[in-house]
Amino acid sequence: MNRGTWGPWFFLVLLVVAHLLLHVTFGIGRGAPDLLTLALLLGARRVSGGGAAALGLGFGLLQDSLSALAFGAASATYAVLGLAGSRTRDLFVGDSALFMGLYLFAGKWLHDILYMVLADSVRSGEVVYAVLVDAPIGALYMTGVGLFIMGAYRAMGWRI
């Protein structure tokens, strides 16, 4: 197996481990970037629709195992996000920094909105604030971290 085959998957596993370290071990919580969503969005562009949905379901079960409040909401959210992410490969060819930035931003924003709806985690008066202020800020944060990580990954000579 050459470096081009296992490299991206090893990278995605590292993102999942880093997500768990930051969120669970170090207890940073919302202050840490959402590396699990980043890993799903990057991995979804490498596999078929069913594979991406299964990858999303697995990531969602991992996320749901850490939360007792809305079990199943993350699983459904990640499965839908994985399927939608894999479909972008059919619509958009290439992986320029501009496209990947927009893709990561839209994916994280969609993730936050879907999770809010499915988990019913936002009170009715705070929905507009959560969707138009809080979610885009989180999406910008994850996009910046994602582009930095992708740049470092590409500097090693690998393609995501």
**Do 99 and 117 form a contact (C-beta atoms < 8 A)?**
no
Dihedrals phi, psi of 71, to nearest 5 degrees = -65, 130
Q: Does 44 score more than 90 pLDDT?
A: yes
43-57 mean pLDDT: 93
**pLDDT digits over 62-99, tens only?**
998 887 777 888 999 999 999 999 999 888 877 788 99
What letter would DSSP give residue 71?
A: T
pLDDT of 5 > 80? The answer is no
- Residue 126 vs residue 102, higher pLDDT: 102
Quote the percentage of the chain above a pLDDT of 90: 52
Please say if the pLDDT value at position 1 is more than 60.
no
Q: How far is residue 31's CA from residue 74's CA, in Å, rounded to a whole number?
A: 19
Give 129 or 5, the one with higher predicted confidence. 129
User: What is the arithmetic mean of pLDDT over 129-153?
Assistant: 92
CA distances from residue 101 to 89, 149, 157 in whole angstroms, order as listed: 15, 12, 20
- pTM for the whole structure: 0.90
89 neighbors 45 (Cβ within 8 angstroms): yes
- SS3 of 65, please? coil
pLDDT for the residue 159:
67
What is the pLDDT, as a whole number, of residue 61?
93
